[in-house]
Structure 1
Amino acid sequence: MATRYDPFQDMDRLVGEMFGSARAAATMPMDFFRSGDHYVLHVDLPGVDPGTIDVNVEDRTLTLRGERSAVEHDVQWYLRERATGSYVRQITVGRGMALDKIDATYSDGVLTLSIPVSEDAKPRKIEVQHGGRAPTITQTVEHTAEPSPR
């Protein structure tokens, strides 16, 4: 029995090799929410070496980087869906976050950033002054002596 040649199978394999790992490496699934007086960002980075994780802030842009290295080098792959390479994601964040006070942790393949709400963005109560009568405005006029004729 002869093996049947399927050109689409080879094409699918080539496209997967060329774009599959790049596409998967470019994704960083994340959740972003506010809890009390902190914003929280959870980013999935499974298998990323913690030493390669970099969190950088410039102006209002938050940049996240990480890298996952290939585990096996001298093998014949039959299926390779787990992406290797660099992960990079940039997020432009709005005002109201204290970006100089970010706390970052990496545990169980999840990078967690905790960003405090900035003091300017926190709600505050404005005290309204009140009294029994309206304030009085007074004006004082000083008279100066006119120069005497000579």
Structure 2
Amino acid sequence: MFVRLLRRSMDINRYAALIVVAVLLTSLGTAAGQDDDGDARLRLRATPNVAFAPASVLFVGQIRGGPDDNEELYCPTVEWEWDDDTISSQTVDCDPFEPGVTEIQRRFSVRHTFDYAGQYDVRLHLKQGDDVVITSRVRVEIRGNNRRFR
């Protein structure tokens, strides 16, 4: 009798563990940038996100979700707003868009140096003309004794 109860308990625990794993995997898919409705999301990361001035920081933006042939996100102007009174912008010349054929760029990276201590809210904007299509931000903290006055 005890052995049977122990086996049932183990089966229930396995079943519960499978449910927990399924729920975690589902939530990780959403947290990784997939909207429930399949819209594209832009995620921005900074490495390192805490450093000492002067600090060179690598920023990586990644589009998650949405279709690969999203015309709205094809060949955007990439604008980095550094929150240190500077902006970097890049526009490239692209081939004409072809639905079902053309694929969007999903990864954008750049390195920026912060000379002064402070907290910086860095923003990545993907634009078509003057219109911001999608944007994301990340905060970096630069430490040191050389604060800049704003």
Q: TM-score, normalised by structure 2?
A: 0.27
Q: Which has the larger radius of gyration?
A: 1
In terms of fraction of residues, the more strand-rich structure is 2
Larger RCO, structure (CA 8 Å, separation 6 or more): 2
